């Protein structure tokens, strides 16, 4: 082993050990009745890493993980990183065939699955090419699925240290994207740790934070902007299995949480919860949002009802590990709706179709240069080359800078609606409709239309029953140009969302596409 490289190593797997030496007796993780100090967290990571070695997993092997949030999820990601094993978190909402694709594409040798999901996992393995040779269940285990305690409680000898370089693959994150098959973004310790530094500095994250984590850890927003930054800085993490509003509010009160992240859809659900006003949220000081823009009306309501909470908007994507730009607390109202300015370790510009920078006020594609960036797409040199053309990572988002250097995300390229020869940003229409007092949530998208090419369509969740689509249409006409006003309005009880709280517009397009043909 290179002794100089060994002395200079700084990887994801090193974080629990370094925090244990600084905050050994402090609580690191709370998950139900389970509490781990930083010293205990580091010890269980060591045992699990040794268990992986004893099971025959080597540096570079892939371990797929299918689970809701739990303390074992955190331990496994550090243990795999410590041994140089590449973690492949899988969205627990996927079906067997979709999971089989991830197993095959990643070449996963091991599969750790939550007890309740082993039936789905069995079907996925049966549909796969059969690379999985090691199986473990988070829970008591069952036939064919020994309990993961065989790893977390392993009491055999510690294997020799593994040298993990800055740019050795640490994780494969499969992005949903717009393609028929997800892409595997390769994240390294270099990308992750530079990103953690950006989050901690620009997000004002400190060792005395207590944070509730409720969004899925398979997604890098909750995992890498928050949980891992908390372990890095020495903060306390409270892990919840899902973003249920009542459970979130109860956890903030019970644990005296100072910090919480959620996409706008979850913040809206908290505001609408009957428990919101009766819950003691006085310890909460820092609020973060991302995944989609915060409607200005909701931001103003949050400021009124949580006057002591300072808010940050984190904008980015998986391939940026994931942070790219930040809108800070003092910028929220003056620059409402903006994604802010580049994070401390990121350079961001907006370019035209020829990849040339565009002037202030002109819409183009958002591109980045940063050590946060993915190493590329696993087993896809063509997509990697396209994403990094001309030495910038191309986000696929459309944006515009103002004269003060603040970035506004106009839309995903795929969400820009082309109607009647005009381009309409779905976000602009959503912001306008949120001004209607009777609207709780709204999603705007385009559907195929024989005359308009695409018709602007809005699905609205009302605050109270009885909201009439014609009333929404009339309101839209009063605040929007004619070509931006929805051609169709649908009233719904809820919007389809993924576990990260992101609205699934592709489902809405499929569900309501027939309207354009009627």
Give me the DSSP letters along 128-192.
Answer: S-S---EEEEESS-BTTB-BTHHHHT--SPPPPP----TTSEEEEEEE--SSSS-EEEEEEHHHH
Q: Is the pLDDT assigned to residue 70 strictly greater than 60?
A: yes
Percent of the chain predicted with pLDDT > 90 = 83
Residues 443/503, Cβ–Cβ less than 8 Å = yes
Percent of the chain predicted with pLDDT > 70 = 98
Nearest by Cα to 404 from 360, 443, 463: 360
Predicted confidence (pLDDT) per residue in 472-488, tens digit = 999 999 988 888 999 99
pLDDT score for 179: 43
Q: Is the pLDDT assigned to residue 292 strictly greater than 90?
A: no
The span from the CA of 518 to the CA of 508, in Å, is 17
pLDDT score for 84: 98
Mean pLDDT of the chain: 94
Residue 100 exposure: Cα atoms within 13 Å on the Cβ side: 13
The 3 state secondary structure assigned to 129-146 is CCCCCEEEEECCCECCEC
The span from the CA of 430 to the CA of 203, in Å, is 27
Residues 436/264, Cβ–Cβ less than 8 Å = no
Residues 369-374: what's their mean pLDDT?
98
Residues 441/459, Cβ–Cβ less than 8 Å = no
Residue 418, helix vs strand vs coil: strand
Q: Is the pLDDT assigned to residue 180 strictly greater than 60?
A: no
Q: Is the pLDDT assigned to residue 178 strictly greater than 70?
A: no
Confidence of residue 5 (pLDDT cuts 50, 70, 90): very high
Residues 221-243: what's their mean pLDDT?
97
Q: Is the pLDDT assigned to residue 147 strictly greater than 60?
A: yes
pLDDT score for 413: 67
Residue 227 DSSP code: I
Distances (CA, A) of 424 to 104, 396, 455: 39, 17, 10
Burial class (CB in 10 A: 0-12, 13-18, 19+), 33: exposed
pLDDT score for 416: 76
| 215-229, 286-300, 390-404: least confident range | 286-300
Burial class (CB in 10 A: 0-12, 13-18, 19+), 126: exposed
Predicted confidence (pLDDT) per residue in 301-310, tens digit = 999 999 999 9
Residues 505/294, Cβ–Cβ less than 8 Å = no
* Angle, in degrees to the nearest 10, between helices 38-54 and 71-83: 60
Residues 247-260: what's their mean pLDDT?
98
Full DSSP string of 49-117: HHHHHHTT--TT-EEEEE-SS-HHHHHHHHHHHHHTPEEEEE-TT--HHHHHHHHHHHT-SEEEEEGGG
Predicted confidence (pLDDT) per residue in 348-359, tens digit = 999 999 999 999
pLDDT score for 473: 94
pLDDT score for 32: 97
What is the set of domains in the chain, with CATH numbers?
3-165 (3.40.50.12780), 190-412 (3.40.50.12780), 420-517 (3.30.300.30)
Residue 463 DSSP code: S
Residues 284-292: what's their mean pLDDT?
91
Predicted confidence (pLDDT) per residue in 198-219, tens digit = 999 999 999 999 999 999 999 9
Beta strand pairing call for 439-449 and 422-425: unpaired
Is the peptide bond preceding residue 132 cis, with omega within 30 degrees of 0?
no
Q: Is the pLDDT assigned to residue 176 strictly greater than 80?
A: no
pLDDT score for 272: 94
Residues 296/327, Cβ–Cβ less than 8 Å = no
Residue 383, helix vs strand vs coil: helix
Residues 390-398: what's their mean pLDDT?
94
């Amino acid at each position: 082993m290179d002794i100089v490289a060994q002395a200079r190593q700084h990887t994801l797997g090193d974080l629990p050990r370094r925090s244990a030496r600084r905050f050994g007796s402090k609580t690191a993780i709370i998950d139900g009745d389970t509490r781990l100090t930083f010293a205990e967290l580091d010890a269980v990571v060591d045992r699990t890493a040794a268990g992986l070695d004893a099971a025959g997993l080597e540096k570079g092997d892939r371990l797929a993980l299918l689970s809701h949030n739990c303390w074992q999820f955190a331990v496994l990601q550090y243990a795999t990183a410590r041994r140089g094993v590449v973690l492949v978190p899988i969205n627990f909402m996927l079906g067997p065939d979709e999971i089989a694709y991830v197993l095959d594409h990643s070449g996963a040798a091991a599969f750790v699955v939550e007890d309740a999901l082993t039936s789905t996992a069995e079907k996925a393995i049966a549909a796969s090419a059969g690379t999985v040779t090691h199986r473990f269940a988070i829970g008591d285990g069952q036939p064919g699925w020994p309990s993961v305690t065989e790893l977390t409680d392993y009491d055999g000898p510690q294997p020799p240290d593994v040298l993990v370089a800055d740019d050795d693959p640490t994780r494969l994150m499969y992005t949903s994207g717009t393609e028929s098959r997800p892409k595997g973004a390769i994240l390294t310790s270099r990308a992750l740790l530079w990103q953690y530094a950006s989050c901690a500095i620009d997000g004002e994250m400190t060792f005395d934070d207590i944070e509730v984590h409720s969004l899925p850890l398979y997604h890098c927003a909750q995992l890498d902007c928050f949980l891992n930054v908390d372990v890095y800085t020495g903060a306390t993490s409270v892990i919840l299995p899902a973003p249920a509003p009542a459970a979130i509010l109860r956890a903030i009160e019970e644990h005296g949480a100072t910090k919480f992240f959620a996409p706008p859809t979850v913040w809206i659900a908290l505001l609408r919860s009957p428990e919101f006003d009766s819950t003691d949220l006085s310890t909460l000081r820092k609020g973060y949002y991302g995944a989609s823009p915060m409607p200005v009306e909701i931001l103003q309501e949050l400021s009124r009802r949580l006057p002591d909470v300072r808010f940050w908007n984190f904008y980015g994507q998986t391939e940026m590990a994931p942070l790219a730009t930040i809108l800070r607390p003092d910028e929220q109202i003056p620059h409402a709706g903006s994604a802010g300015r580049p994070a401390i370790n990121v350079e961001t510009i907006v370019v035209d179709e020829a990849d040339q920078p565009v002037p202030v006020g002109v819409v183009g594609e958002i591109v980045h240069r940063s050590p946060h960036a993915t190493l590329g797409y696993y087993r896809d040199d063509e997509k990697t080359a396209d994403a990094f053309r001309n030495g910038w990572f191309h986000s696929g988002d459309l944006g515009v800078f103002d004269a003060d250097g603040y970035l506004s995300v106009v839309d995903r390229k795929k969400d820009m609606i082309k109607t009647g020869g005009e381009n309409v940003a779905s976000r602009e229409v959503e912001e306008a409709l949120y001004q209607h007092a009777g609207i709780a949530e709204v999603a705007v998208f385009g559907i195929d239309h024989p005359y308009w090419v695409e018709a602007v369509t809005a699905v609205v969740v009302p605050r109270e029953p009885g909201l009439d689509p014609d009333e929404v249409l009339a309101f839209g006409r009063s605040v929007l140009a004619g070509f931006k006003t929805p051609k169709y309005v649908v009233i719904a009880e809820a919007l389809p969302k993924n576990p990260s709280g992101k609205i699934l517009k592709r489902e809405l397009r499929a569900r309501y596409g027939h309207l354009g043909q009627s």
